[in-house]
Structure 1
Amino acid sequence: MTRSRLILAASAASAALAAVPGIATADATHACDPSPSVAAGQIPTYDDPYQAYSWEGQWRSATFTFPSHRTGACLAGTVFAPLDLSAGSPDARFGALRPAVVIGPGSGPGVEAMYQWSARDLAGHGYIAVTIDPQGVGHSRTFGNPACQVPPPSDPTQACPGVPFQQATNYVDAIQTGLDYLTSAYDPFAGSVDPNELGAAGHSLSARAVSYAQMVDHRIKAIVAWDNLASDLTGDAGSPSGGGVAGQLIGGEVPGSSDPITPTVPALGEASDGRGADEPTNTDPDLKKTAYEVWRHAGVPSMEVVFRGSTHSDWAQNNTTTSDTMLHNFEYYTRAWFDRFLLGDTTADQRLLAATVNGQPASSIFSTNWRSAAFLDGIDCENLVACVK
């Protein structure tokens, strides 16, 4: 199965991908030139189907291309929707319009196909969701429009906007481009998207990107940052890189730069169990809560969940080492967060603070090295282990 075909799946007793009978195949929608280009983020298995899981529900999807919000480069992605978009299906909480979420990949070898596990689950439970590759990544075009300016402008960094691909601004741009697409005429599900209830999620560099995008794009109403929520676009002590020079280089920024983030919308940070790369001896149990505390001090709802035994790469699905259980736990909190702050379902608090998660004691999911925490709806819990019920 390739990305150029509509992918259809349904829940089944087996976690294998299952065809849905009676659903017509739709062509991909191209708002810009989808011709392939050499992208630095391409990986050999990009076009391989990634395993779907029974807990993701029933969904459908179609690939698309759409012009970059910032440079005009042709970006590639996939849009997911419930099989049934009628009001009240698959959940009575949903009306004619659905909340929608844009999901960005991690940097380096990360591509949107690795994060469709979350998009499938969101769509299988009533949302519209988009996974999208930044400029120069996966099937997204390497150059913008115009490709390069000759002679170059007075600022050499703007001669070829978005080149090289490994820069934080491209990941912010991908999130904003996904938002543009969701409400465009090219989105086959645009008529079901609620433009007032849009969210964003992302892994690694895209986690930083969504942390930043919520400050500059007021269409975003809630975010989830997978390893990890950030208080600066260059990262901070709670980031896997630890922020500092390492984080700046990963994001393509000049070492010594800083781009502080102001919290504006509810934010969930999910973090891995390892130590920051630039401070490997720092064992402060509140280290992963660095950005969470910035949100909390600003009075904006936030939550930090550090998963026991997890590594930074666990949020990127692959066909060899991915843990179904780990992804299911990541998505449990992700969907509950969007249910609370996009769908407006206050009963989602019960899931966010539940003592049992996917049949496991929540206390067995939380890291014993780093504290998880919650600040929402009158709850101010500095150590989540003591607050789940």
Structure 2
Amino acid sequence: MPAFVSRELQQSATNIQAVLQRSAQDPSWNLPPAFGNTGLTPLCAGGAGPCVGDPFRYPGVSGPDGDIFYTQQAEVLPVVYYDQGCARISGQVWKPRNTGNRKLPAVIIKNGSVQANEALYWWAAQELVRAGYMVLTNDPRGQGLSDFATPTGEQGGNINGAVFFEGLVNDIDFLMSSPSKPYPHELSCKGTYPTVTQAFNPFHQQLDETRIGAAGHSYGAAGVTWVQSYGAEDSEPWPGLLSKTNPLKAIVAWDALGSRNTPASATLTSLLSTQTVTGTLPVGTLINPEGAPPVSPRVPALGFTSEYGFTPAPFVRNTPREEHLAGFKDWVAAGVPVYNITIAGSTHLDYSPGPALPASSWCPKTDNNACEGGWAKPMITHYTLAWFDRFLKKPGEQGYDDADLRLLDDAQWAERMSFHFASARRFKTRDGQLFFSEDIRMQYPKKSSTL
């Protein structure tokens, strides 16, 4: 049996046993059927099959992404905290080991919908920790190990898209909480369940509150697009409870960076344009939930857009090269740094790789008891880290000095960019030089026009 399949089956069994044990120890996780919690639901609560993610990235697994990471490189603490509706949110806070009391930049990762669970994004959490970041990961309400609904029955996940912006605001408040500044929803929801919940970020002493970023996938990408808008003059005031102004300083949107007209603009299928699929849906629908703030470019944004969505079928239509650049154009018009990349052959699930899900190659080699190589994921990782390093790192910190060079490394990555859709960028390097290209692949090897 191939090493990957064997490891996946072992981890699936372990994950199922863990969630059943949680339910036995705390029966309050088994809510009435109308609320959707059972021993193995929501869908990915059991963490089995595709929901395992990369099976080599778990504690107790021999290898660089298993035991070596968790015992030598990172401190990872599980947390449970309430969202604003008193649903329990299950997650983890991560940070690099051996950093003393040094203040760290932080990134919150927001899952996609359709039951994408936290473990599908551990590839990003691990690489961010290795790059010197504190990280908060979790399952949104309605997904994975979190409650399916609030105590009053308000749904989450696929049924209520508001959790992807309201929940991210809650996540930011939790990240910024401390003993002297307790998490507000712990105070208002305490005692709702017998479950032990956290009143503050266990790593609060090392958080640099001036350097917080967010990365989101799919509906989570829409979430980070919406939440960064709070506080802009033409959007809505910042609704967070632990800071007067919006603390987000940079975002990465994994399929896709939204625009004012199409805030949720992920590629769902190669058969229809994104504008056709999502651009005409009225407020109150799943993809355009009521209460979301108007999109307004406020912070530096890196967007990824997939070619094939959920249906990797051949293109049967003419594809305007600018089709994926609606959000990019909004950011350019506002004069805010922006980068948008479409990777050739990529699908909507390249950002949440799990066994049997339609994605480009992400685990071609397992020789070192780890998934190595691949097509889209190494490129996603490269630019995600470089973007956060460019806008969240300080002089002397890992990744600060070469962030611009990595963002301009066309020699390594331009040929992996889509030839159907343009990838584009407009940002200044640290020395003030502006790099502006509306079609990086077509201009390669010329980097871009500079001003």
CA contact (8 A) 2:219 2:264 kept: no
Residue of structure 1 in register with 2:342 after alignment: 306
The 1:143–1:255 alpha-carbon spacing in structure 2 relative to 1, beyond 3 Å, is closer
Give me the whole-angstrom Cα distance separating, in 1, the residues matched to 2:362 and 2:404. 26
Write out aligned runs for 1:217-232 (5 A).
217=238, 218-232=246-260
Give me the whole-angstrom Cα distance separating, in 2, the residues matched to 1:55 and 1:349. 27
What is the aligned counterpart of 1:199 among 185, 194, 213?
213
TM-score, structure 1 as length reference: 0.75
Write out aligned runs for 1:147-226 (5 A).
147-148=151-152, 160-163=153-156, 165-185=158-178, 186-216=200-230, 217=238, 218-226=246-254
The 1:341–1:256 alpha-carbon spacing in structure 2 relative to 1, beyond 3 Å, is closer
Give 3-state SS (helix, strand or coil) of 1:312's partner.
coil
Residue of structure 1 in register with 2:129 after alignment: 123
Residue of structure 1 in register with 2:438 after alignment: 382
CA contact (8 A) 2:258 2:264 kept: yes
In proportion to residue count, which structure has more helix? 2
CA contact (8 A) 1:238 1:276 kept: no
Give me the whole-angstrom Cα distance separating, in 1, the residues matched to 2:343 and 2:218. 15
Residue of structure 2 in register with 1:92 after alignment: none
CA contact (8 A) 2:42 2:145 kept: no
Q: Percent identity?
A: 27
Give me the whole-angstrom Cα distance separating, in 1, the residues matched to 2:119 and 2:261. 24
Give me the whole-angstrom Cα distance separating, in 1, the residues matched to 2:301 and 2:124. 17
CA contact (8 A) 1:79 1:130 kept: yes
Residues 256-278 of structure 1 deviation map (CA, whole Å, 9 limit, x = unaligned): 9996411100000011123799x
Report the residue type matching 1:198 in the other structure.
I
Give 3-state SS (helix, strand or coil) of 2:325's partner.
helix
Give 3-state SS (helix, strand or coil) of 1:315's partner.
coil
Residues 117-171 of structure 1 deviation map (CA, whole Å, 9 limit, x = unaligned): 1011101111001112111111111232xx22xxxxxxxxxxx444575322111
Give 3-state SS (helix, strand or coil) of 2:148's partner.
coil
The 1:285–1:257 alpha-carbon spacing in structure 2 relative to 1, beyond 3 Å, is farther
Give me the whole-angstrom Cα distance separating, in 1, the residues matched to 2:110 and 2:316. 27
What is the aligned counterpart of 2:307 among 270, 273, 281?
273
The 1:124–1:72 alpha-carbon spacing in structure 2 relative to 1, beyond 3 Å, is same
Give 3-state SS (helix, strand or coil) of 2:93's partner.
strand
TM-score, structure 2 as length reference: 0.66
2:347 counterpart of 1:291 = no
Give me the whole-angstrom Cα distance separating, in 2, the residues matched to 1:195 and 1:255. 29
Give me the whole-angstrom Cα distance separating, in 1, the residues matched to 2:114 and 2:424. 30
Paired positions, count = 332
CA contact (8 A) 2:110 2:138 kept: yes
What is the aligned counterpart of 1:59 among 46, 61, 74?
74
Give me the whole-angstrom Cα distance separating, in 1, the residues matched to 2:293 and 2:204. 33
CA contact (8 A) 1:263 1:294 kept: yes
Q: CA deviation at 1:299?
A: 0.5
Residue of structure 1 in register with 2:16 after alignment: none
Give me the whole-angstrom Cα distance separating, in 2, the residues matched to 1:255 and 1:189. 33
CA contact (8 A) 1:208 1:234 kept: no
Report the residue type matching 2:112 in the other structure.
G
Report the residue type matching 1:140 in the other structure.
S
Larger radius of gyration: 2
Give 3-state SS (helix, strand or coil) of 1:211's partner.
helix
* Structure 2 stretches lacking a partner, 5+ long: 1-21, 32-36, 58-62, 179-199, 231-237, 239-245, 364-373, 395-399, 429-433
The 1:353–1:251 alpha-carbon spacing in structure 2 relative to 1, beyond 3 Å, is farther
Report the residue type matching 1:51 in the other structure.
F
Report the residue type matching 1:224 in the other structure.
V
CA contact (8 A) 1:59 1:80 kept: yes
* Structure 1 stretches lacking a partner, 5+ long: 1-27, 88-95, 149-159
Give me the whole-angstrom Cα distance separating, in 2, the residues matched to 1:301 and 1:227. 18
Give me the whole-angstrom Cα distance separating, in 1, the residues matched to 2:343 and 2:294. 26
Residue of structure 2 in register with 1:7 after alignment: none
Residues 12-38 of structure 1 deviation map (CA, whole Å, 9 limit, x = unaligned): xxxxxxxxxxxxxxxx9xxx9983551
Residues 225-272 of structure 1 deviation map (CA, whole Å, 9 limit, x = unaligned): 001100148546664462566575996257999964111000000111
CA contact (8 A) 2:264 2:287 kept: no
Residue of structure 2 in register with 1:17 after alignment: none
2:47 counterpart of 1:45 = yes
Residues 286-316 of structure 1 deviation map (CA, whole Å, 9 limit, x = unaligned): 1111111111111010000111111111111
Q: CA deviation at 1:79?
A: 1.4
Residue of structure 1 in register with 2:403 after alignment: 348
Give me the whole-angstrom Cα distance separating, in 1, the residues matched to 2:213 and 2:347. 25
Higher alpha-carbon deviation: 182-191 or 76-85: 182-191
The 1:380–1:54 alpha-carbon spacing in structure 2 relative to 1, beyond 3 Å, is farther
The 1:103–1:288 alpha-carbon spacing in structure 2 relative to 1, beyond 3 Å, is same
